[in-house]
Amino acid sequence: MLLIANGRVLDPASKTEAPRDVLVDGERIEEIGAPGTFAGLRDTELLDARGMIVAPGFIDLHAHLREPGQESSETIESGTRSAARGGFTAVCCMPNTQPVHDNASITRFIVDKARSVGATRVWPIGAASVGSQGEAIAEIAAMKEAGIVAVSDDGRPIATARLTRQVMDYCRSLDLPVIEHAEDVSLASGAVMREGVTSTRLGLRGMPAAAESVCVSRDVQLAELTGARLHIAHLSAKASLDQVRWARDRGLRVSCEVTPHHFTLVDEDVTYDSRFKMNPPLASREDRAALIAGIADGAVDVIATDHAPHEPALKDVEFDRAPFGVLGFETALALALEQLVHSNRISLMRMVELFTTGPARVLGIERKLAPGEPADLTVFSTAQEWKYDPGDSPSKSRNSPFAGKTFRGAPMATVVAGRVAYRR
């Protein structure tokens, strides 16, 4: 048995925020009681959470684990170890691997690999179309049978409105969410950052915010037509969020996520350093303010990392040639604390919701701290000071714009299915 004692339990599902001890037996929570309730129990491993928050296990709805096919950038093992270090107990991995995860044999490969070497749970997302090529619908039912939790052609949007409608119709009958990387590729073509004064100054090709919001508009209308569950990935523009708000007001099942880099950085932060290159690109100040407002008022459902490792040989090249993407797992909580909580924009409870019940709701599952529930817990400090060095990471990649940054607040222990997967 494992006893997590002396911590402050924070559970959005029951709106609990109180000193509690949590007793874990095997893979499940046995009991939750007032401090000291379980003192004197024998054969119990103690995890002293004094001064720390004990929350339900964080879920990352958007990550790239690069396996199969790009194991020099990340593997299921290295990626989940990095995720556990970031406080995540479950990671949803996007299907843009090599080959693309568009069939059930790859689903089974990922599920089996994660069971044998994963530090966290891995919940795979299957491709919406064959090879994510946007022509023919993928074998979604067979992948669902094998364990996918959603579909997406992430890395790109589902190519056409016609195919998106077909995927949505199909996913509605299977009760699977459709996760959209919203991008009008004709508007974004050739762009490496957000269009604006900074892109002009740097002489880099920019894409307008509309490259995202035009696609969100298409998808919201198709969600209304089909009744499907639509989730907008890494939403970065105010105009996109306005569409999501409009959809919600009409009662549509539309949700969205924002990444820590989009609520922290803006296009003005971009230099010729490829660690600042991601897709969607860093947005304007106005957009960032709108994202934070949406996080605070509930329009944004989820904080997701879009952890996108690229080995140094690929990423450390000129800005124009570098692939899009940055690491995300190990800085997500610290950035959320810094940008949102310490600055009094949201409560700690709301932040935990964005990492737990928020993503769970998108997936149609529950996330709470209660007896009988899976013992997935994230223990963190809001005060621990530390400096981020990607060189310390179990990830195989180093591409973070936050390297060298000092933070206040950190994951202290990650418990997955009753097992301590990470301890600071």
Cβ neighbours around 424 below 10 Å, total: 15
Tell me which residue has tokens 């929350």: 55
Tell me whether residue 139 or residue 154 sits nearer to Zn ion (CB atom): 154
Least spacing, CB of residue 74 vs Zn ion, in Å: 16
Decide: is 154 part of the binding site for Zn ion (CB under 5 A): yes
DSSP string, 97-143: SSS-S-SHHHHHHHHHHHHHH-SSEEEEEE-SBGGG-SSSB--HHHH
Closest separation in Å from C-beta 233 to Zn ion: 5
| Complex with Zn ion: residue 154 or 267, whichever CB lies closer | 154
How far is the first Cα of the chain from the last one, in angstroms, to the nearest whole number?
20
Please state the φ and ψ torsions of residue 189, each to the nearest 5 degrees: -50, 125
Return the residue of 64, 101, 181, 231 that touches Zn ion, per CB under 5 A: 181
Greatest alpha-carbon pair distance for the chain in Å reads 67
Which residue in 48, 306, 316, 376 is the catalytic one? Answer: 306
Stretch that binds Zn ion, among 176-184, 242-250, 341-349, 407-415 (CB under 5 A): 176-184
Cα–Cα distance, 150 to 162 (Å, whole number) = 19
Selected range binding Zn ion among 101-109, 169-177, 179-187, 366-374, rule: CB under 5 A: 179-187
Question: How many residues make contact with Zn ion (CB under 5 A)?
Answer: 2
CB 250, min distance to Zn ion, A: 25
Which range binds Zn ion by CB under 5 A, 44-52, 180-188, 270-278, 292-300? Answer: 180-188
Nearer to Zn ion, 74 or 154 (CB): 154
Contact between 101 and Zn ion by CB under 5 A: the answer reads no
Contact present, 369 and 349 (Cβ < 8 Å): no
CB of 378 to Zn ion, least distance (A): 24
Coil, helix or strand at residue 168: helix
- To the query of whether residue 306 is one of the catalytic residues in this protein, the response is yes
C-alpha to C-alpha distance for 55 and 369, rounded to whole angstroms: 8
Residues 181/153, Cβ–Cβ less than 8 Å? yes
C-alpha 143/C-alpha 128 separation (Å) is 10
Q: Is 262 in the site for Zn ion (CB under 5 A)?
A: no
SS3 2: strand
Q: Which stretch binds Zn ion (CB under 5 A): 13-21, 153-161, 318-326, 345-353?
A: 153-161
Residue of minimal Cβ distance to Zn ion: 181
Shortest distance (Å) from residue 73 CB to Zn ion: 16
Between residues 154 and 353, which has the closer beta carbon with respect to Zn ion?
154
User: What is the DSSP secondary structure assignment for residue 414, as one 8-state letter?
Assistant: E
21 counts as binding Zn ion under rule CB under 5 A: no
75 vs 279 by CB, closer to Zn ion:
279
Is there binding between residue 338 and Zn ion (CB under 5 A)? Answer: no
Region for 48 from its dihedrals, namely left if φ exceeds 0, alpha if ψ lies in -120 to 50, beta otherwise: beta
Whole-number minimum distance, CB 216 to Zn ion, in Å?
13
Pick from 62, 122, 63: nearest CA to 302:
62
- The Cα 54–Cα 377 span in angstroms is 7
CB of 306 to Zn ion, least distance (A): 6
Q: Which residues of 220-247 are buried (b: 16+ CB within 10 A; e: fewer)?
A: bbbbbebebbbbbbbbbbbbbbbbbbeb
280 or 374: CB nearest Zn ion: 280
- Find the part of the chain contacting Zn ion (CB under 5 A) among 148-156, 189-197, 217-225, 311-319: 148-156
> Which residues lie near Zn ion (CB under 5 A)?
154, 181
Give the residue numbers annotated as catalytic, written as ranges: 306
